[in-house]
Amino acid sequence: MPAPLFSRLIEKLCPHRFSWPHSGAHGQDYQVCLICGTAYEYDWITMRRTRRLEELSKGSSAPLSGKQPDA
């Protein structure tokens, strides 16, 4: 139980330094904080982050890029 509480505290206190926007699987654009790893959806029309992406920030096994792994 202390680990999730600690990670949420770190996310709240993080000054967030974001990467350049990336396109993920299914054409979803996102930015990732280089310090804490939290991912946010990115809107190219308004050029702003729109909402936090829970599935990317929790270390999902889904690929972040549209590239498929080599078989």
pTM beyond 0.85: the answer is no
The pLDDT value given to residue 28: 87
Delimit the domains of the chain by residue range.
2-57
**Residues contacting 21, CB < 8 A, separation 6+:** 29, 30, 31, 42, 44
**Distance between CA 66 and CA 3 in Å, rounded?**
31
Q: What is the mean pLDDT of each run of 10 residues along the chain (71 residues)?
A: 69 83 85 89 91 63 44 38
Q: What is the pLDDT of residue 11?
A: 67
- 3-state secondary structure labels for all residues of the chain: CHHHHHHHHHHHHCCCCECCCEECHHHCEEEEECCCCCEEEEECCCCEEEEEEHHHHCCCCCCCCCCCCCC
